[in-house]
Amino acid sequence: MKFRAPHLLFLFFYLALAQASFAQQLGAFDGQQDVGATGLLGTASYLPSTQQYVVTGAGANIWADHDAFHYVYKKLTGDFIVYARAGLVGWRGAETHRKMGWMVRQSLEANSPQVSAAEHGDGLTSLQYRKTAGATTEETRATITQADIIQLERVGTTYTMRVAQFGQPFEVVQVANVDLGQEVYVGLFVCAHNADVTETAVFRDVRLTTPAPASLVAYKQYLGSHLEVLDVASGNREVIYSAPNSIQAPNWRPDGKSLIYNSDGLMYNFDLATRQPAVLPTGDVKNNNNDHVLAFGGNMLGLSSGVDKLGGSIVYTVPASGGTPRQITPRGPSYLHSWSPDGKLLLFTGQRNNDFDIYRVPAKGGKEVRLTTAKGLDDGPEYTPDGQYIYFNSARTGTMQIWRMKPDGSQQEAVTTGEFNDWFPHISPDGKWLVFVSFLKDEVPAGDHPFYKHVYLRLMPLTGGQPKVIAYVYGGQGTINTPSWSPDSKRVAFISNSGPLK
């Protein structure tokens, strides 16, 4: 068969487009292309202003012994976690089994071994996998449907899908012994389930994470950090700064213009307009940890800094613009967590008599007053903006839960139940909401809050009710140790973590 000139021009154009598509850098990804005989060309774009990916694809299916779909991918080696909040565009598509999600492939051949976390148009959510080239695809279905939170993790040859409807905890589905090799293609996919039409999905809050290796030595070796801002009403997340080292515990200044965080023993002021950090001077106090907090008025900053000869962390205060700190507690360990609304008192967690309890001390120094006496760890105390209550976390029941008490330590009562280990309650400036970090019981014991775990940020009304997940995070220690609400009570700053992508 001979092509006429127009057909040749079209063929050359198509090949050029396909080649350009293959090589295109797209946000965090190396390229994009159709895999298999899709029928119609797929496309993808990245929207930097919203950090969203819009992916359109055709293709008859991802099933049986071969696949056809549009793929946005990056080559990775070793273990990883990939996460997105995603949805297909349009209430109904041409086919109920149109699908989108995350996929890991050995190659870009249509019959490649692969593992995918797929959300279908009819709500079916499944972990699909082809163990060898050209083999029949298998699947394990989740019990939930209409998942819009999709996470896929690889540890060796084990793949774990975590899926949820936004606001709910993950459901976990896993497959073992799928060997795709060390270097794989990892990315977002869309399949129309029909070669004659295209379907579109939007992926936001996309995160590609290298988790901590099993050999990592806690508190001596660290992963990199992402400083994120979360819009509480919508759940939208934005990475506003990334660092190759550990940055921790952002505090939001009352003027709304900057954040304060700690890193490598120093304090930093992060300008939200320029998105650049600058060292905040603290004199000779340069072993600061992630238990630091601004006074309600914003004029003073409280620090916790390690001093070995005094028994560990010591509480200091310093002007919020920096200066020479004033020592408050005479001995450690003492970990600062809150100022009283009038600026006259400080709350800290102290280890005295071989137990950690919550103490109150004058902000200018003076006698410590013990507020909790229950056996087991009490930590993370914080005053409500009206000064009527102190919220804290306690492991006194065997599970770490959020509690509250009156400022004199009376009327202590539990606020959350035992589904997770809950830490570090923070009250919104308008006094309406409580946000805290929740560790999984099967990963972390009640008395610990380590780095580099699967955690949730959860939100509940201060008047009580069922907590709602507002962020699915790889983090833990340093993520949200300190008050990090924006002054208008609409946003929360926090830290997520990742090693360098390989």
DSSP 308: G
- Answer yes or no: is pLDDT of 23 > 70: no
Nearest residue to 466 (alpha-carbon basis) of 391, 416, 392: 416
In this prediction, residue 25 carries a pLDDT of 85
pLDDT classification of 353: cutoffs 50, 70, 90:
confident
How far is Cα 192 from Cα 299, in angstroms, rounded to an integer?
A: 57
**Residue in the structure block whose two tokens are 């995350």:** 102
Residue 179, burial from CB neighbour count under 10 angstroms (0-12, 13-18, 19+) = exposed
- What DSSP letter does each residue of 210-265 carry, written as one string? BPPPTT--TTTS--EEEEEEEETTT--EEEEEEESS--EEEEEPTTSSEEEEEETT
This prediction has a pTM of 0.94
254: its two tokens = 């009352």
- E strands along 48-196, which residues? 52-57, 62-63, 66-67, 69-77, 80-88, 99-105, 114-120, 125-130, 138-141, 149-155, 158-164, 171-175, 183-191
Q: Are 469 and 166 in contact (CB under 8 A)?
A: yes
Radius of gyration of the chain (CA): 25
Percent over 70 (pLDDT), the chain: 95
**Residue in the structure block whose two tokens are 């349009």:** 90
**pLDDT (tens digit per residue) in 272-305:** 999 999 999 999 999 999 999 999 999 999 999 9
In this prediction, residue 21 carries a pLDDT of 43
In this prediction, residue 94 carries a pLDDT of 82
> Domains in the chain, please, with CATH?
28-209 (2.60.120.200), 224-498 (2.120.10.30)
- Rounded to the nearest 10°, the torsion over CA 71, 77, 78, 79 is -30
**pLDDT (tens digit per residue) in 237-266:** 999 999 999 999 999 999 999 999 999 999
In this prediction, residue 52 carries a pLDDT of 98
- Give me the amino acid identity at 410: S
Average pLDDT across the chain, whole number: 94
Phi/psi for 102 (5° steps) reads -100, 145
- Answer yes or no: is pLDDT of 2 > 60: no
- Answer yes or no: is pLDDT of 229 > 80: yes
In this prediction, residue 91 carries a pLDDT of 79
- The number of angstroms, rounded, from the C-alpha of 43 to the middle of its chain's C-alpha atoms is 28
Nearest residue to 425 (alpha-carbon basis) of 391, 378, 455: 391
- Answer yes or no: is pLDDT of 6 > 90: no
In this prediction, residue 13 carries a pLDDT of 36
**pLDDT (tens digit per residue) in 46-66:** 999 999 999 999 999 999 999
- Answer yes or no: is pLDDT of 491 > 80: yes
**pLDDT (tens digit per residue) in 147-190:** 999 999 999 999 999 999 999 999 999 999 999 999 999 999 99
How far is Cα 318 from Cα 133, in angstroms, rounded to an integer?
A: 63
Nearest residue to 72 (alpha-carbon basis) of 106, 102, 113, 38: 102
DSSP 3: P
Q: Which residues are 102's β-sheet partners? A: 117, 188
- What DSSP letter does each residue of 108-145 carry, written as one string? SSTT--EEEEEEETTS-EEEEEE-STTPPPEEEE-S--
pLDDT classification of 9: cutoffs 50, 70, 90:
very low
**pLDDT (tens digit per residue) in 378-431:** 999 999 999 999 999 999 999 999 999 999 999 999 999 989 999 999 999 999
- The number of angstroms, rounded, from the C-alpha of 129 to the middle of its chain's C-alpha atoms is 26
- Give me the amino acid identity at 9: L
pLDDT classification of 14: cutoffs 50, 70, 90:
very low
Q: How many residues are recorded in the chain?
A: 502
- Answer yes or no: is pLDDT of 17 > 80: no
- 113-145 residues labelled b (16+ CB within 10 A) or e (exposed): bbbbbbbbbeebbbbbbbbeeeeebeeeebeee
In this prediction, residue 418 carries a pLDDT of 87
How far is Cα 162 from Cα 165, in angstroms, rounded to an integer?
A: 11
Map residue 296 onto helix, strand or coil.
coil
**pLDDT (tens digit per residue) in 434-488:** 999 999 999 999 999 999 999 999 999 999 999 999 999 999 999 999 999 999 9
CA 440 to each of CA 205, 456, 458, 472, 499: distance values in angstroms, whole numbers, following the listed order: 22, 9, 13, 12, 21
